[in-house]
Amino acid sequence: MQSQQKIIVFQQNGSGESKIEGIVKYGGNQFELKRINIDAPLPDILDDTSPYLPPKIDADLVLDFLSHPDLSQDLAHLCDRQGIPMIASGKKIRRKGIFTPPT
* Cα distances (Å, whole numbers) of residue 82 to 10, 12, 42: 16, 23, 26
State the Cα angle at 35 between 43 and 13, rounded to 5°: 40
pLDDT of residue 89: 76
pLDDT of residue 26: 94
Q: What confidence tier does 3 reach under pLDDT thresholds 50, 70, 90?
A: confident
What phi and psi, each to the nearest 5 degrees, are found at residue 37? Answer: -100, 130
Q: Average pLDDT, whole number, for the chain?
A: 88
Residue 102 scores a pLDDT above 80: no
DSSP string, the chain: -PPPEEEEEEEETTTTHHHHHHHHHHHTTSEEEEEEEE-S---S--S--TTTS-SS---SEEEEE---HHHHHHHHHHHHHHT--EE-TT-----TTEE----
Residue 92 scores a pLDDT above 80: no
Residue 95 scores a pLDDT above 90: no
pLDDT digits (tens, 9 = 90+) for 27-71: 988 999 999 999 999 999 999 999 999 999 999 999 999 999 999
Domains annotated for the chain, with CATH where assigned, are 5-99 (3.40.50.2300)
pLDDT of residue 93: 64
